[in-house]
Amino acid sequence: MNRHIPTHAVLICLSFLLFSCAELQQLAQIQRPVLDVAGVRITGLSLEKIDLAFDVDITNPNPLSVRMAGLDYDFEINHGSFLQGNQPNELLIQSNGKSRVEIPLTLEFRELYETYQAFKNMDSTDYRLACGFTFQLPILGLTRIPVQKSGRLPLIKLPKLSLRALKLNRISLTGADLDLEIDMKNPNAFSLFLKNLNYNFMVSGASWASGNLSAPASVNAKDSGLLRIPVSLDFIEMGRTVYQMVSGSKSLDYQLNGSLGFDTSLPLLKNVDWPVDMTGAVKVTR
């Protein structure tokens, strides 16, 4: 007995086979995504650290969407590994589409200088970021695709303060006027623009001067500058002992604390508020 297959059933089968063949052909021609480091940004900069962001563009050349499973990175400095990490974040890249992934890194300058002693005398250094992006691809399965970026990294150093002298300008039986002279050394390849100094100057545990000094000044790159803090003493209020200390020749134990406000010639390093904490011994000079 002959049975006839309905025409619509034949058409459905043929369509299914054609669809399957087309899909298999697409799968057979699957390509790996293309990676490109679009740029490197400094997102934060201070005297203590630098924040970097690496922007990586992912281009999917396939007619099918692909899924990123995560990434790993190795940040090299001075030809050696300094920071390593993984980001297990997932991302779907549409067919024939493009997506951007940001890789944030934070570098502590103190850690850099402790690891590489030579950096204390350098203004910048080479770096290389080596990354691997892992994708879940049809037929190919988990596939890691490498990408890298090299460049130069600025090295920021803390200014150095040192007490030069406690200079006596005038003395009488009732009081004295002095200048506290402080050397400020700038070891960086950029200028410092001083704005104000909030200070408290103590000798042998007693406050001799405090206030906010607004005296705009600048210290050029690789240069030194001088800060002068006026100190006025009232012997009647402070006692005879202070007169003896100022007029004598013995060293005086001092402490200077507060904060120094300044800008720099670097566009991203502005409005720095740097704590000041100095102790030692000083003689009154004339």
How many distinct helices (H) and strands (E) make up the chain? 4, 17
Strand 223-234 to 175-186 pairing: antiparallel
The answer to whether the 33-154 and 160-285 domains have the same CATH topology is: yes
pLDDT (tens, 9 = 90+) of the chain, 286 residues, equals 555 556 655 455 545 544 444 454 455 578 999 999 999 999 999 999 999 999 999 999 999 999 999 999 999 998 899 999 998 888 999 999 999 999 999 999 999 999 999 998 999 999 999 999 999 998 889 999 999 999 999 999 999 999 999 999 999 999 999 999 999 999 999 999 999 999 999 999 999 999 999 878 899 999 999 999 999 999 999 999 999 999 988 999 999 999 999 999 998 899 999 999 999 999 999 8
Cα gap 277→185, rounded to integer Å:
16
CATH level 3 topology of 33-154: Immunoglobulin-like (2.60.40)
pLDDT of residue 244: 93
Interacting residues of 165 by C-beta distance below 8 A, sequence separation 6+: 179, 181, 282, 285
Q: Where do the structural domains in the chain lie, given as residue ranges? A: 33-154, 160-285
What is the model's pLDDT at position 9?
A: 53
Q: For residue 187, how far is the Cα from the chain centroid?
A: 17
Structure tokens at 84: 């390593």
Burial class (CB in 10 A: 0-12, 13-18, 19+), 143: middle
Six token digits for residue 65: 């969407």
Whether the CB-CB separation of 278 and 161 falls below 8 Å is answered with yes
State whether CATH 2.60.40.1820 applies to domain 160-285: yes
CA atoms within 13 A on the CB side of 220: 1
d(CA 16, CA 6): 16
218-221 CB contacts, 8 Å cutoff, 24+ apart: 218/191, 218/192, 218/193, 218/194, 219/159, 219/184, 219/185, 219/186, 219/191, 219/192, 219/194, 220/186, 220/191, 221/186, 221/188, 221/189, 221/190, 221/191, 221/265
Q: Give the Cα separation of 75 and 111 in Å (integer).
A: 14
Which residues fall within 8 angstroms of residue 102, CB to CB, at 6 or more apart? 53, 54, 55, 56
User: In 3-state terms, what secondary structure has residue 164?
Assistant: strand
- At 155 the pLDDT is 94
d(CA 65, CA 211): 65
Q: Which residues contact 198 (CB under 8 A, 6 or more apart)?
A: 211, 212, 213, 258, 259, 260, 261
At 2, list the tokens.
Answer: 């002959």
